[in-house]
Amino acid sequence: MSAGRASPRPGHPEFHSLLGVLLAPDDPDARADLDQMAATVTR
């Protein structure tokens, strides 16, 4: 059971925003890296 990959829809912005807040709430660089990674994974 990999909950981390259970995105509701590829490229779902609320999902990625929530994930970013959970992983790196106060780190803009980490947020940017996460967004880039998410965009690559859900392409």
pLDDT digits (tens, 9 = 90+) for 18-43: 666 666 556 677 667 878 888 887 66
Torsion of CA 39, 19, 12, 29, to 10 degrees: -40
- Within a domain: residue 4? no
Counting the structural domains of the chain, the total is 1
- Within a domain: residue 22? yes
- Within a domain: residue 30? yes
| Distance in angstroms (rounded) separating the CA atoms of residues 16 and 25 | 12
- Within a domain: residue 21? yes
- Within a domain: residue 17? yes
Average pLDDT of span 4-29: 61
pLDDT value of residue 26: 67
Residue type, 17: S
- Within a domain: residue 28? yes
Q: Residue 17 above 60 pLDDT? A: yes
User: Residue 33 corresponds to which tokens in the numbers above?
Assistant: 């890296």
- Within a domain: residue 3? no
pTM above 0.75, yes or no: no
Which domain, by its residues, includes 15?
A: 11-41
